Structure 1
Amino acid sequence: MTPPVPADDPFAFLGHTGPAARLVRDFDWGRTPLGRVETWPQSLKTATALLIQSPVPIVMLWGEEGVMIYNDAYSVFAGHRHPALFGSNVREGWPEVADFSDNVMKVGLAGGTLAYQDQELTLHRKGYPEQVWMNLDYSPVLDESGKPAGVIAIVIETTDRVLAERRNRAEFQRLQALFSQAPTFMTMVSGPEHVFTLVNPEYRKLIGGRDVIGLAVRDALPEVADQGFLDLLDHVYSSGEAVTRTAQRILLRWRDQGPLEERFLDFVYQPIRDEDGTVAHIFVQGSDVTERVRAENHQRLLINELNHRVKNSLAAVQSIVTQTLRHATTPKDAAQAITARIMALAGAHNVLTRENWDGADLRALVESAIHPFCGPGPDAFRLSGPDMRVGPYAAISIALALHELGTNAVKYGALSVPAGRVRIGWSVGGDQLFRLDWTEAGGPPVVESGRRGFGSRLILQVLPDQLQGQAWIDYRPDGVAFTLTASVEAVRDEAT
């Protein structure tokens, strides 16, 4: 319990014993324009007591000089300039924003108020120029005659929020670009009415360029209402179970006119759950396979081959979506991770497609997998290894593993800082043992979290299992090191 303040104490008006209150008591006010505390007008004492006891960062600028009196919360904002800032003139205390302070004093002492939202300023709180953003509210403090004698400022720093919003906008734009460039059609529908919320160009092309954003599927594509697709969406939404279809026949109309056209689609309906675990959205991804099954002379061959590949691709997509949703904290995080991982899968497919799925050049596969992480600056990657080819299944597994390593490096490892570097090397020993190394250097200190998410299981369990090899990761002080070993036969898919 705070002891009572003696009645004859000149600082009794403070009614507080915190650090800022002690500064008021100990400060030599006689060397400032305010003079000794015993001479202070009641208006100054009352305003000082109010701000000293407030938990919100507040500073008062008294008189023409703007002598600064502030509370404990503001001292945190002041950084290393506290406590020397206390009792100083505002133009001298914050010289880098003297012009801004001049305007504040001019307006406030004239009886006006000022309010700024996310005001950007350059301050030297830590010994170097720092860009900060703040919400600032200024109002005059009146003396006993009712005239403005000072200015009181409520200061709420919003730097973290502003920077987070900027990062989120940049990330959203990047994901939108990736979503738009996806080689397969993708869309997201939300709610029990299945309202279109995301549509990529390939899906828009599939439906004849119709503008469907904001519309329910039943209204946007009325021709599909009686073909069973709404029933499938309802089932996924109510049960939370994913649905996959291969070479599914559908009749679509070109725009809103003309006859119905027969198409064949491979697709997956994947539920996306909200924070409370209920299904909120359905992610749709697939391919239009019509032209590949219309060539009658090659129909059986194409269908057999297509079924084999698509089932594996959709299984990979379904696994990615399911595992990502299982560990994502929000639908937004899930959508971002799903898009990035599907793009990594699509990148491997592009490399294989150029080679007619007979295999892939390992260097081209690695370059494709790390491309999203290269950035605009100097090349952060160093690749070394002999020319060699890997089989389709090994190519997809390695590409997904490199994506997870790159994502982790961008967030926490070497690629999170400008000086960071990653070396990717591969070799084949005399014992016909293939080895792949990912070695980071120049990043922040590495600390093993102990958490095993989808990415960790992919590179340490799924990848070695598929290649009948071994994988391990070493959290070295100078960066993460990952190693995979497997027989050359397995890597070339010769054993399958």
Structure 2
Amino acid sequence: MRFCASAGRGTQELSLEANPDCRRLSANFDWATSPLGSQKSWCVELQTLLSVMLGSLQPMLIVWGPSQTTLYNDGYAAMCGNRHPAAFGGSFHDLWHDIWDQVDPIMTDAYNGIGTAMDDIEFLMHRKGYPEETHFAFSYTPVRDPWGTVLGMFCACTEITAEVALRHAERREKERFKQVFELSQGGIAMLTGPDHVFEFANDEYYSMIGVDRDIIGRPVAEAMAEVVRQGFIGLLDSVYTTGEPYIARNLPIELNRGADGEKQNRLIDLVYQPMRQDDGSISGILVQTRDVTEMNAEEEHRQLLSHELGHRLKNQLAMVQSIASQTLRNAEDLTSARKKLSERIGVLSAAHDTILEGGRGASTVIQLVEQMTALYDDPGNPRISLCGPRLKVGSRPSLSLSLILHELATNAVKYGALSTTEGEIILNWRVTGPKSDRFEMSWVETGGPSVAVPQNTGSGLRLISAGLNGTADSKVTLDFEESGLRCTISADLDTFQQEH
């Protein structure tokens, strides 16, 4: 193997502006005793590379000849730690003996004429007397003579340990934030760049927009196209441009969040918070949101119930009077009348306890129905006929259904079928739907006074029309037929029976 052809001239005069430490080492080194020999005998390739290296601020390294003699500049010297300056002019193996298992294959390739470049190689070095994780970006380039023989290797490199550590720290911090965000009771999403690209979203955010939506790595305008025409992209642009946060409560929004992507109208609380870099520039937007649709509906329902309680209290005397009249009219003697009247007033008290306490857990439809009939019907002369399976009811729908049944019965006593001696009520309930996934109840009055559509919607009618609280897709229809009121109540069966 040819090591080095003699140059026709000595070492060139070099600039003193860069690399003063290694320039001095090179000038004072006893090269004649080294494998490279006197500088005057160095080939032009080595002299040229030395001149380039010592004139550059980029960390550089030359490994030359079969002995792999090492030369480097001040930038590379900083990477050598405590091994500089002893490593200058020595063996490359001696310099990096602690990581030789990683370096040797790359060096062998270079001497075989194969270059290597890496953006990030990790070493566990002991260059400062202790183990240290380090990272480098580098290239190993074979150096050949005019005949193609590899004379050595030239390396330009940069230590990126600090940058990698910073990236790792940022990644860990981001992961910690994500863990916190995942535990948040509200929806959290992180958007980056002026196009508002989704970088992260927690489970609550997916629950709000639709669980199966593919949003990560996509701009909001593409991932959630339905919000574009609603002005949300303009809001994001404003926050990103001005740095002013956006806060809204009970904000209407239309989302394609149904099982098949169908549109749903929701109400949300929303915060767009700008995220800033260390230099103050805005890099993205933190989205904090909460779906308050059900909460608002429940609040409205609570207000309705509160109003209904006042309405029902006003009817207490009329109700007790009706119970007493019906009991005394059908009693055989005063003793039995007193007993029956006490029992029925006890049922009335229990019904109101149920309303005031918000339900006592899951029950069955027949229990709620029988509670109502015990109060409004006469076992000796029953006028409410019942038919339906034994179905469990969750506590929230149970309360709503109890209120609706009592309201229907109260109206029947005051204005409908139970206000006359001939009137009757047919009350049926069943499981229906093509997949047997819906609850349906029908209330049909006959034999009472003629019925007309009421001119005003009172609190009782509003309570009935509100449907079954705590259920999905609850529907109520009221038909004021001349022959008598017809009311149909339906809801999703799973949520009707779910315990809340």
TM-score using structure 2 length: 0.49
Structure possessing the higher radius of gyration over alpha carbons: 2
TM-score using structure 1 length: 0.49
